Amino acid sequence: MAKEKIEKKGKDSSFSIPVVADDSTCSMGEIKINHSVIANIATLSAKQTNGVLGIGKRGFANGIASFFSNKKSTSNGVNVSEDEFGNYIIDICVTLKFGCELAKVAAEIQQNVAEHITKMTNTGVGKINVVIDGVVTSEEAAKCEVAECEL
């Protein structure tokens, strides 16, 4: 970042105000954020939304696939890519609570995820695709937590 001086002239005198300008020629280097970090932010943001019981795909086949894959569990159910402008494109699979308004909760997930990612990374979000993978009652979710299974 470079410092520039802006001269302002008052009635009696002129004075300089230092201003910090964004100048890429004076940068100290690049800052890159791994997509797994973005996926983790998306996961945590979605879990804070009322009506969300779990993130990621359910089922035996998906459980086996995630066990043998190289992906960490924090990004399970969340895929992150970038568009041609550098904005994030996020696909997130969720399990919602039975009885909630599915479209309303999905829209809140999109808003929460976009807000957190933009605030934390200072990078735009192009799309957030929410896939509702399942609907579970509170009793089923409690049984699953006791059995230590993942939704």
Burial bucket for residue 151 (CB in 10 Å: 0-12, 13-18, 19+): buried
| 94 contacts 76 by C-beta, under 8 angstroms | no
Percentage of residues in the chain having pLDDT higher than 90: 51
What confidence tens digit (pLDDT) does each residue in 50-68 have?
Answer: 999 999 875 434 444 444 4
Confirm whether 67 is domain-assigned: yes
Q: How many structural domains does the chain have?
A: 1
Amino acid making up residue 25: T
Q: According to the model, what pLDDT value does residue 111 have? A: 97
| CATH number for 56 | 3.30.70.1350
Question: In angstroms, what is the C-alpha Rg of the chain?
Answer: 22
Distance CA 114, CA 127 (A): 9
Confirm whether 142 is domain-assigned: yes
Distance CA 40, CA 68 (A): 20
> Which residues are CB-contacts of 148 (< 8 A; sequence separation ≥ 6)?
none
Distance CA 116, CA 122 (A): 10
Q: According to the model, what pLDDT value does residue 28 have? A: 87
Full residue range of the structural domain in which residue 64 is found: 33-146
Q: According to the model, what pLDDT value does residue 49 have? A: 95
Confirm whether 4 is domain-assigned: no
Q: According to the model, what pLDDT value does residue 143 have? A: 65
The helix/strand/coil state of 11 is: coil
Confirm whether 59 is domain-assigned: yes
Note the pTM of the prediction, 2 decimals.
0.67
Confirm whether 125 is domain-assigned: yes
Confirm whether 60 is domain-assigned: yes
Looking at the predicted structure, is the pLDDT value of residue 120 above 90? yes
Confirm whether 68 is domain-assigned: yes
Confirm whether 8 is domain-assigned: no
What confidence tens digit (pLDDT) does each residue in 6-51 have?
Answer: 444 444 444 444 444 455 455 788 888 999 999 999 999 999 999 9
